Amino acid sequence: MMRRYTQLARGGLGTVLTVLVLASMGVRPHRVAALVLDDFTDGVATKTERGLELQTNGSLARDDGRALHGVLGGRRQVILRMDSGAGASEACTLAIDPTGKGLAYSSTGRADGAFELIYNGAGRGLRADLSSAQGIRVVVNADESSVPYTVTLTLRGSSRRSFTTTQTVTRSGEQQVALPFGAGGHLNMKTIEQVRLIIDPPVAADLVVSRLETFPAGAAGR
């Protein structure tokens, strides 16, 4: 028994010494850094003073500029939709918040809308390598009138196959909405050509999206 304890002690001491030696050499455990798809600091607000606005039912699409900072592929297509509630005093708007908080969506009392973000290199394809990621998380800050809202992610691969997942958020406030790839394993994650995100809140909503990024295993969000 004493011999066994001695062996265990030696083994533990060896492990500690190895860690200390590696640390002194500047070696750290390998961690996969998050890939930022969009930090929402550039784009929508530069188009018009108020960004995009709809006061009638329908949709408004905009190719949101070239060489955008903090945007995967440097291009972003934005689609604002108004499904119901059209009227003289009703509207849905989408714009980069001038205070740097992110992409702000709002709708008036009876206006029901949604917005969509598409990243595909202006139709040329991203060829983005997402193979080291377990999913994508969206940092959203929504007020109480904005819940429940849904967040839908669609990935399209180089073979034209696609994968879609949706999360319904029932809690207000700032949070990370995790969208794991899960069954999307049939896609070639080394060559993702398009990332598409749709956020669909109820009427009279106010929410801000501040970040869109990948996450590794065990770090989906909260």
Which two tokens mark 24? 């002194």
Q: How far apart are CA 8 and CA 181, in angstroms?
A: 41
Backbone φ and ψ for 182, nearest 5 degrees, come out as 50, -115
Q: How far apart are CA 77 and CA 221, in angstroms?
A: 26
pLDDT tens sequence across 51-81: 899 999 999 999 888 889 999 999 999 999 9
pLDDT tens sequence across 92-116: 999 988 788 999 999 999 999 999 9
Comparing 2 with 98, the larger pLDDT belongs to: 98
Residue 25 corresponds to which amino acid?
M
**CATH code of domain 31-215:** 2.60.120.260
Query: What is the pTM (predicted TM-score) of this model?
Result: 0.82
Highest mean pLDDT among 9-13, 20-24, 97-101: 97-101
Percent pLDDT > 70 in the chain is: 79
How many CB atoms are closer than 10 A to CB 83? 16
- With CA atoms as reference, report the closest residue to 75 among 165, 215, 211, 195: 195
Average pLDDT over residues 208-222: 82
Q: How far apart are CA 30 and CA 34, in angstroms?
A: 13
Comparing 17 with 120, the larger pLDDT belongs to: 120
Q: pLDDT at position 14, please?
A: 47
Could you state, in order of their start, the residue ranges of all structural domains in the chain?
Answer: 1-30, 31-215
CA distances (Å), origin 214, targets 116, 138, 189, 209: 18, 9, 12, 15
- Enumerate residues 6+ apart whose C-beta is below 8 A from 125: 158, 193, 194
Average pLDDT over residues 110-137: 95
Q: pLDDT at position 186, please?
A: 83
Q: pLDDT at position 160, please?
A: 81
pLDDT tens sequence across 136-184: 999 999 999 999 999 999 999 988 889 999 999 999 999 999 999 986 5
How many CB atoms are closer than 10 A to CB 121? 15
Q: pLDDT at position 48, please?
A: 53
pLDDT tens sequence across 30-42: 456 889 999 999 9
Q: pLDDT at position 6, please?
A: 44
